Structure 1
Amino acid sequence: MRVVGVSTQQFVYLASERKKFYVNEILVIEDPDLGKLRGVVIEAKAINRYLPLSFEKGTVLDQKVFDSLTRLGFNLADEEVNIAYVRLLDTAALPVKVGSPARVPTFPEVADLLVRQTPDKGLILGEIAGSEALGTLPPEYSNLYCLLENTGPVMGKGVPFIFDYRSMADYPHIGIFGGSGSGKSFGLRVLLEELMAKKIPCLVFDPHGEMEFSEPYPGIPKEIARDYRDRYLSLKIGDEVGIRFSELTTPELVSLLNAISSISESMESAVEALFEPGKDSEVTFGEKIKALLEALENEKLYKGPVPDYLEGETLKRHLFVREIYEKYGYRVNQYQSLKGILWRFESLRAKNLFAKSVAIAQEALLQRKTVVIRGNLSLLKIYSAYLLRKLYYARRNYVDLRTFGETGEYFPPFFIVTDEAHNFAPKGEKETPTRRILREIAQEGRKYGVFLTLATQRPALLDETITAQLSTKFIFRTVRATDISTIREETDITGEEAAKLPYLPSGLAYISSAWIGRTVPVKIRAAHTKSPYTENPFDELVEKTSVASEKLLATLKKFLPIRTTSLNALLPYIGDELGREISYDEIIAFLNDQVEQGVFVKIDHGPFGFEYVLKE
């Protein structure tokens, strides 16, 4: 490798007939006057005389550069020459001398660039792509992780990528972008495993039910495997975690109703008038709305004297409705607004949202555990707005009181992690409760030690204010042009790197971080735990079909021989044996399939139909 063409104090070209260059590779240039200079490859090409080279910024290898290659001994006529466009990591005092040799560095020469934190104080996320060429590593950086190969997990040989999570105090929030099958969810799992290993509290919203960490990944060596079962808690909305209605504030109730469907100003005013925080239960609040609606439907009845014919429960109900109407009717008198509030409120009750409290989640975070909140996407969007606000302000209030020398109830710093982030904080003019609190955390959470990790297949659909606050981005394979354009605007990846995004292999990510100062290609390590949904769906199809077929075959054998003319009469009995209804056509199709496989014989009885018997 040698310096060719025109060089500057910041950029040089390198040429080699044998070595293939790759983007983000670090090389050492040995200038006789300037000494050792380190640079990173930002463009890599293979050329010959007939293929002129153009770089992103318009730099062209003209005839003079080709001539210099020839003078330096490169045979452009017969051989391919590899060219690298290199940016020096430290500005040189003078332009680099043409012809200066270059080489792959040893680990000690670039350790300060590749490793910014020790393994015990950082998150081991994978291997820096191409770093295995640096040779033997010191013991403290060896045998720390596995990579997934076709044969299974194999011990990594390159330099580990160690993410300094402590740097997030200055460079907050993480975005994880990638299309389906790119390794995005796998990378999110690895990140969560590392946070659990460091006992950093995390609140995870899991719309797909993937974030379970109890099942070990097969093939991980014992010396690096970890057990996370006591480091996390999985909670289902409505079963283990929810909202205690008596603890709601008026703004929180308004936010919950708004999460079901946007509410008008008149609806919000009605809630503020009717709801008594700390006094109302979900039952009493609902009854207030129903009573007021009943009174508005027949105001004459409740404005005049109490009818003499009322007695017992009927009289008791009338007096209750009258009391509510007299107390609130002058302030809340819009019938349609009340109907809208009642519909939203009953929707919340139907989701069993008020059956539990957040206490178990709060306690787990105080114990420095990861709390996984499970539920379908629509329910998570409703619940997350409440839970995020409650926990974020618990932390914020503690820090604010401490800042002014006061003592408050302790709540720890924590991470907020979610997949499908564009559903929680969508781009657009319409405001949503979840986006509002996520935007606030994105802008101010760093001061309070609350950090976002947002994963999405569609970064172009994520709220732009939030995207701009993500100091670190993990970029996996991305296909859509709009998403690639968003990524280019928000990171420092080059045009060549962006062009590779649709073709990145699964599990390889470009990690672009203000903390690092450059983009690093990383092979995400093998996870220590297994997702509950790693089974190939086609294997599942074969397995389930096989089990069902075996059960049907065993059942039909009890009714042999089976004649088509009498099969309809047998259907109820066959259904009882199977525990489900079964049709004539389903049984005939199955019997014909078994005939093809040589299990049954089909006998034609002419006008009397067919008969199926076991093949001898």
Structure 2
Amino acid sequence: MSIVTVLGLTEDALIGTTSSSEYSSEGGTPTFDRIPFRVKAGRRPNLNTFVIALRQGDDRRAHYGRIIAGSELNLRARPGGMQKDDAYGMQRTDIRSSELSPDLVRVMEIELLGEICVKDENSLEIAEPSQLPHTGQPVYELPATIIPKLLNIPEKDDDANDKPTSTSGLYLGKIESGGYSVPFFLPNTAIARHVAVLGKTGVGKSYAVGVLMEELYEKRIPILSFDVLGDNEQTAKDLKGVHIQAGTDQFRVPYSIIGIEEFLPFIPGLTERHREVIGEAYMKVFYEAWEQLDGGRVPDLQWEALYEEMREVGPNITDQATVNRAITRVQSVARRTALLTAGEVEWAKYLTEMPFVNIYVGALGQEQRNLVVGATARILQRLRRRNHIPPFVLVIDEAHLFLPGGIDPPPSTRVLREMIRTARHDSVGVVLLSQSPSSMDRQILLTCNTRILFALDPEDLRVVAGQIGDLPEETIKRIPRMPRGTAVFTSGMDIMRHAVIVKIRERTFTTHVAETPDLREAVEKWRKEH
């Protein structure tokens, strides 16, 4: 059975014929990367439309790809000739009188992605390009329903009603091709391999992550979010979760288990000897605390436990006066910090009982934010490895603040780098949002297997350009001009075969509160209220 029959292609889907020219302005010649074709008169193929080009002598195989460029050559519209007509006062009406004119040709280019082969009546095989495309062959628009097979992503469940659903995928938007659209499902497995959502301000990053949260919620996957701007407070309510402000009685970090790298920065003015005394005592208390860990409940340790240990180990390191000063500095932190606690904290309760936990860190300084995020990540990773909490997804907004690049990263970068590197084995997924990927730690960006790219500034685009899968240069150049709510999805070949442009769907049961304001309207509203 021919591929035209299996795919149900009709004359209405025929858009052109593969061509060849020595001139690049006419599309050039077919290669293993590009296929030029002459557009059939009267047809209007759209940019990024998925198409196939048949092969001569083999009706069971075809090349497939997407339209990435095009040009129109009109001999009657040459600038020199048009100038002469104007100079002589001639008003020509036949410059573009018909697309059947012998002086007019429209050529488009296909980015060659692979080959489709008919195995039997109902089965198609997708493979890498192996044969050079032939000229003079028909080019058809592909039915939208075949696109998920080309991308190797989940398809809509047969029993899905109004809202497209898939047991193996997250419904995030639609792929548009040839005037039609098909639901886009990000495979569930992509989350455990981590996701980076990148784009400049106001292009739809937070909105898209809200859509992702809806999908995780419906699949009963717990979510923990670090929120800098307070955008997710309403989302927490909509998802029947909890909104917590760091540094209040709702959320404090138990000092006994956060790790020495996070604990020492809480204490200003330390000398090297002070660090040695505190560090050795703290590490002993730290390990004793984890030996007592039971059911995800952090043990109730008092500050005195640390002071006593410092008094015991201190004389082996330095003089008594230095030990006393180190204790005094720790006591000062214990009295004034709003972030640390020595009391018992039931960390496991949040993620086992709440579908969504939003931790607001916007009221803290950046150094305190880094410490809270790094400490919490360390604690959650340890609890997860001991199976005290379920698998979950960690969402970090403004990730460039917590994961900056450079040779001396803050503790949060080191902890999160380790967490992201190993979290897949712990069944923990990480979603990072950033408007400035050029400021982020490169190693972490590379570790995020899936990237969702909204409109980016050219400098930030250069940082991620090498991580955009098989998108051609022509499409990459258009990323800075992509409309709001449209993103490029790219992932590893085992998750998604090709990069693709997706229009993010609307939220269905959460409220987006981070819309860009109209300042004139905002000022008028303020004046009326005051």
- TM-score, normalisation: structure 2: 0.73
Q: Is 2:369 the counterpart of 1:331?
A: no
Q: In 2 relative to 1, CA 92–327 (structure 1 residues): closer, same or farther, beyond 3 Å?
A: closer
1:43-78 deviation per Cα after TM superposition (whole angstroms, max 9, x unaligned): 3122326899xxxxxxxxxxxxxxxxxxxx97574x
Does 364-373 or 437-446 show the bigger shift? Answer: 364-373
Residue equivalent to 1:374: 360
Task: Report SS of the residue matched to 1:2.
Answer: strand
The equivalent position to 2:379 in structure 1, one of 370, 390, 404, is 390
2:67 and 2:108 in contact (8 A); partners too: no
Question: 2:232 — aligned with what?
Answer: 211
Please report how far the alpha carbon of residue 198 of structure 1 lies from its aligned counterpart in structure 2 after TM superposition.
Answer: 1.1
Residue type of the partner of 2:209?
L
- Measured in 1, the distance between the counterparts of 2:528 and 2:378 equals 49
> Which of residues 204, 211, 222 in structure 2 aligns to 1:183?
204
- Quote the Cα distance in structure 1 between the aligned partners of 2:488 and 2:314: 59
Q: Is the 8 A contact 2:37 2:109 kept in 1?
A: yes
Listed as ranges, the matches of 1:181-580 within 5 Å are: 181-213=202-234, 228-230=238-240, 232-237=241-246, 238-245=248-255, 248-249=256-257, 252-258=259-265, 265-275=272-282, 277=285, 284=304, 328-329=314-315, 331-333=317-319, 346=332, 350-355=336-341, 359=345, 361-367=347-353, 369-376=355-362, 378=366, 379-398=368-387, 410-479=388-457, 481-492=458-469, 493-514=471-492, 515-528=495-508, 529-534=510-515, 536-548=518-530
Quote how far apart the aligned CAs of 1:507 are: 0.8
Instruction: Name whichever of 102-111 and 378-387 sits farther off.
Output: 102-111
Equivalent residues of 1:31, 1:100 under 8 A apart: yes
**Higher strand proportion (structure 1 or 2):** 2
Residues 52-131 of structure 1 aligned to structure 2 (within 5 Å): 77=103, 79=104, 81-90=106-115, 91=128, 94-113=131-150, 115-118=153-156, 119-121=165-167, 122-128=169-175, 130-131=176-177
Q: Per-residue deviation at 1:522?
A: 0.7
Query: In 2, Cα distance between the equivalents of 1:487 and 1:265?
Result: 40
Q: Distance in 2 between matches of 1:39 and 1:201?
A: 39
For the residue of structure 2 that corresponds to 1:272, the secondary structure is helix
1:220-250 deviation digits (Å, cap 9, x = unpaired): xxxxxxx9432x22111123121234xx14x
Distance 1:356 1:267 in 2: 21
Contact kept, 8 Å, 2:197 with 2:453, in 1: the verdict is: yes
Shift of 1:483: 0.9
Instruction: Note the alpha carbon deviations across 1:27-51, whole angstroms, 9 max, x for none.
Output: 1223342325242226312232689
- After TM superposition, the structure 1 stretch with the greater mean CA deviation from structure 2, 362-371 or 202-211, is 362-371
Q: Mark the CA change 1:10 to 1:186 in structure 2 (over 3 Å): closer, same or farther.
A: same
Q: Which amino acid aligns with 1:234?
A: H
Quick check: 1:28 aligned with 2:52? yes
- Give how far 1:349 is off: 5.3
Residue in structure 2 matched with residue 614 of structure 1 by the alignment: none
User: How has the CA–CA distance of structure 1 residues 368 and 239 changed in structure 2, closer, same or farther, with 3 Å as cutoff?
Assistant: closer
Partner secondary structure for residue 137 of structure 2? coil
8 Å contact from structure 2 (residues 63, 133) kept in 1 = no
Q: Distance in 2 between matches of 1:374 and 1:181?
A: 21
How big is each residue's C-alpha offset from its partner over 1:243-276, in whole Å with a ceiling of 9 and x where there is no partner? 234xx14x72552223677976534312135547
Q: Distance in 2 between matches of 1:112 and 1:282?
A: 59
Report if aligned partners of 1:22, 1:44 keep a CA contact under 8 Å in 2.
Answer: no
Report the CA distance between 1:20 and its aligned residue: 4.8
CA distance in 2, matches of 1:343, 1:23: 64
Q: Deviations over 1:387-418 (max 9, x none)?
A: 110111222234xxxxxxxxxxx432121111
Aligned partners of 2:446 and 2:420: how far apart in 1?
9
Q: Percent identity?
A: 21
Is the 1:2–1:99 contact (alpha carbons within 8 Å) kept by the matching residues of 2?
yes
The Cα shift of 1:541 comes to 2.3
What does the per-residue CA deviation read over 1:293-350, in whole Å, with 9 as the maximum and x for residues that have no partner?
xxxxxxxxxxxxxxxxxxxxxxxxxxxxxxx6x9845634497898688668745753
Cα-to-partner distance string for 1:80-119 (whole Å, 9 max, x where unaligned): 6141233042256643331211121223444412542442
Determine the C-alpha separation between the residues in 1 that align with 2:209 and 2:382.
26
When structure 1 is superposed on structure 2, of 272-281 and 29-38 the one drifting more is 272-281
The answer (yes or no) to whether the contact 1:239–1:355 under 8 Å persists in 2 is no
For structure 2, the residue ranges without an aligned partner over 5 or more in a row are 1-15, 21-28, 79-98, 116-127, 157-164, 290-298
2:102 and 2:323 map into 1 onto residues whose CA distance is 79
Q: Are 1:176 and 1:454, in contact at CA under 8 Å, matched by a contact in 2?
A: yes
Letter in 2 for 1:240: Q
Whole-angstrom CA distance in 1 between matches of 2:327 and 2:46: 60
Q: Distance in 2 between matches of 1:280 and 1:411?
A: 19
The answer to whether the Cα contact below 8 Å between 1:420 and 1:456 also exists between their aligned partners in 2 is yes
Aligned partners of 2:226 and 2:360 also within 8 Å: yes
* Aligned mates of 1:262, 1:38 — CA distance in 2: 67
Does structure 1 retain, via aligned residues, the 8 Å contact 2:203–2:483?
A: yes
1:87–1:243 distance in 2 versus 1, CA, 3 Å: same
Q: 17, 30, 36: which one pairs with 1:7?
A: 30
Contact kept in structure 2, 1:13 and 1:86, CA below 8 Å: no
Asked if 2 retains the 8 angstrom alpha-carbon contact of 1:286 and 1:345, the reply is no
> CA separation of 1:85/1:347 partners in 2, compared to 1, >3 Å: closer, same or farther?
farther
Q: Mean alpha-carbon deviation: is it higher for 33-42 or for 16-25?
A: 16-25
Matched length: 440
Q: What is the CA-CA distance between 1:281 and the residue it aligns to?
A: 5.8
In 2: Cα distance, 1:131 partner to 1:46 partner: 19
Name the counterpart of 2:23. Answer: none
Report the alpha carbon displacement of residue 463 of structure 1 after superposing the two structures with TM.
0.8
Distance in 2 (CA, whole Å) between partners of 1:344 and 1:482 is: 44
In the alignment, is the contact (CA less than 8 A) between 2:224 and 2:395 conserved in 1? Answer: yes
Q: Shift in Å at residue 288 of structure 1? A: 7.7
Residue type of the partner of 1:461? Answer: S
Aligned to 1:164: 187
CA RMSD of aligned residues (A): 3.5
Deviates more, 1:192-201 or 1:465-474: 192-201
Paired with 2:448 and 2:269, the residues of 1 have a C-alpha distance of: 28
Instruction: Encode CA deviations 1:581-607: one digit per residue, 9 max, x unaligned.
Output: xxxxxxxxxxxxxxxxxxxxxxxxxxx
